[in-house]
Structure 1
């Protein structure tokens, strides 16, 4: 049976692509840097007007002189909009934090443009030739990209699909720790090349609760009976001064270990909260707690977890998180079963997964 991703239409829109990364060398790095400077300026310039209610279409016209290419502009302003939505404290009605430190540029994909209007690629032996459109001269900036060789067959097929206008891909060029290219390839194509077969399970569901210092899993059967529950800890990641990059490695490592464990015990479905329906972060009075919130990229971990689960052959369910953390049922579970807060959440996530599965069928 082909593994499935089950969730709302809005949730599934966030899982259309998987990103593969490579290094790139441009023949004229100066032109590429100029695009990035203008692109970053557009993102910074768009944040306040977007917060004030101006539309993407309106800003695309007003910022055209800064970056004279509509696809680059739309992509930059859409990213600025995402930043505003992610940092907006809707209870106070103000932007909490709006600094843009990244130095990059991006171009959204479109199959009608043979994959992408501004970034083209051609797979050659051992490397990939990349062409990036200069928005001022309209000419191409040529680069040579180096991906892991395991990605080359996928890129060859994506190149064919793009030339036939059957699929598209997004592209990002970043300048942190060297010049890199990030291609957003269709998820179905990525899974075609990198999924592993999974043994038949027993029809049970695992609820997964992601947190900044731990990862909780509860496995239940169709009657709601708990088969097993476990916690993977990484408490050092929330220590003051702990490296953000090291914390990311530990968290993703724990997530990978837990999914491999679930595959061994015969789980068919893994259930995550759909974090994209949460519009704001909840900040409290605790400075330590707020630091955990701001340093923990929970949505990035969710995306990684969903794609990893699909690669391992699980069916994945995304549920609305309403009631899984603060509700009468949540409090009752902690009181009657002696669960900690996060184990109770994982249990409720699993039960909601069965409800979603029944709706899907």
Structure 2
């Protein structure tokens, strides 16, 4: 398993886009009715696509079979990708079935389609006009989108680049209490607008992380592998029965962001994580442990950590996770430094990254 060295130049090989959320308002009642019909048809197509993906039916064949449900190639292509992602997620979490209760709509982006063929953003003075292709008669549903003020300049630049066929953007429209719009902004553009590259104390140190469902451990080492700082953040309540999934996610993301900023303050210029993308199934014979693992969105947390690190102007290394939690090397680290097993894992992650990077190159003067 190879080590991945990530920076702002190559990050889009792993993370193509970052989602920005906004409020969607459809003022015309007829347009709102048409949008709901479109979203229901899209969700129906995704449900059917899941069965096709499981049975190994190709995208082209699945699209032909569902064209009477949703007569638009781009919508159906996106639905197939959604279905494939759902099936892969079920495989990772050892799930047996998927029940889709809510409906939504999505259209993948393309710079050759002026950003997005089916859902387009048009900047106005105080909002973004949204045009949504209604496939049954080829007309457009009109809506207004409102985003947080800090995202406006970035989204305006995205719309300008799309108008020149330089960038594409995917769009998802969801329905909860109110319609929401989710725009997928290319990662390089997101980092351009939101990066803080000022280094506080660039000592060329490496910070290793061990992330679990109920805690995150961090160990910072210098260029010789000596431990210079350790910090753990625990949140055992998030894996208890009945605890809000959204609040669990928020706690973990906030804890990880805090630790990354802390690593930068003590002199880390490189952040190291286990390459969890390579870990497919982590289930055990312990039902309690399995429940904790199933509630732990490891991929989402890792992606957040990577982006947060790059926003702080830090390099990222993803190391081979084998042996970082159960090996002779791990046991030696625990005995030698008096570390608990999670802190020892973070220490080994830092050491593995240290062997792959030039700390002198990453030092800041």
- Common fold: TM-score over 0.5: yes
1:319 shift after superposition? 2.7
The answer to whether 1:41 aligns with 2:51 is no
Structure 2 counterpart of 1:62: 65
Q: State whether residues 12 and 187 of structure 2, in contact with CA within 8 Å, keep that contact through their aligned partners in structure 1.
A: no
Q: State whether residues 205 and 223 of structure 2, in contact with CA within 8 Å, keep that contact through their aligned partners in structure 1.
A: yes
3-state SS of paired residue (1:20): strand
1:89 shift after superposition? 6.1
Structure 1 counterpart of 2:194: 194
1:323 shift after superposition? 3.0
Q: State whether residues 133 and 139 of structure 1, in contact with CA within 8 Å, keep that contact through their aligned partners in structure 2.
A: yes
* 1:58-106 Cα deviation digits (max 9, x unpaired): 322222222111111111111111111121269xxx8523222342111
Structure 2 counterpart of 1:17: 17
Segment of structure 1 superposing worse, 312-321 or 120-129? 312-321
Structure 2 counterpart of 1:135: 135
Structure 1 counterpart of 2:332: 332
Structure 2 counterpart of 1:231: 232
Counterpart Cα distance in 2 of 1:313 and 1:206 = 14
* 1:141-188 Cα deviation digits (max 9, x unpaired): 110001012211111111111111111111110112311001011111
Structure 1 counterpart of 2:273: 272
3-state SS of paired residue (2:355): helix
1:52 shift after superposition? 2.5
Cα pair distance change 1:234/1:143, threshold 3 Å = same
Structure 1 counterpart of 2:54: 51
Paired residues, what number?
352
Cα pair distance change 1:162/1:89, threshold 3 Å = closer
Mapping for residues 186-265 of structure 1, pairs under 5 Å: 186-199=186-199, 200-265=201-266
Give unmatched runs, 5+ long, in structure 1. Answer: none
Cα pair distance change 1:97/1:226, threshold 3 Å = farther
Q: State whether residues 203 and 268 of structure 1, in contact with CA within 8 Å, keep that contact through their aligned partners in structure 2.
A: yes
3-state SS of paired residue (2:185): strand
1:217 shift after superposition? 0.5
3-state SS of paired residue (1:137): coil
Counterpart Cα distance in 1 of 2:97 and 2:352 = 34
Counterpart Cα distance in 2 of 1:146 and 1:168 = 20
Counterpart Cα distance in 1 of 2:324 and 2:63 = 40
* Length-normalised TM-score, structure 2: 0.89
Counterpart Cα distance in 1 of 2:254 and 2:163 = 37
* 1:15-51 Cα deviation digits (max 9, x unpaired): 1211111000123111111121111112211223322
Counterpart Cα distance in 1 of 2:348 and 2:116 = 42
Structure 2 counterpart of 1:303: 303
Counterpart Cα distance in 2 of 1:346 and 1:170 = 36
Q: State whether residues 18 and 185 of structure 2, in contact with CA within 8 Å, keep that contact through their aligned partners in structure 1.
A: yes
Counterpart Cα distance in 2 of 1:318 and 1:284 = 24
Mapping for residues 166-181 of structure 1, pairs under 5 Å: 166-181=166-181
The answer to whether 1:292 aligns with 2:292 is yes
Counterpart Cα distance in 2 of 1:201 and 1:45 = 52
* Length-normalised TM-score, structure 1: 0.90
Mapping for residues 36-185 of structure 1, pairs under 5 Å: 36-88=39-91, 95-185=95-185
3-state SS of paired residue (2:333): helix
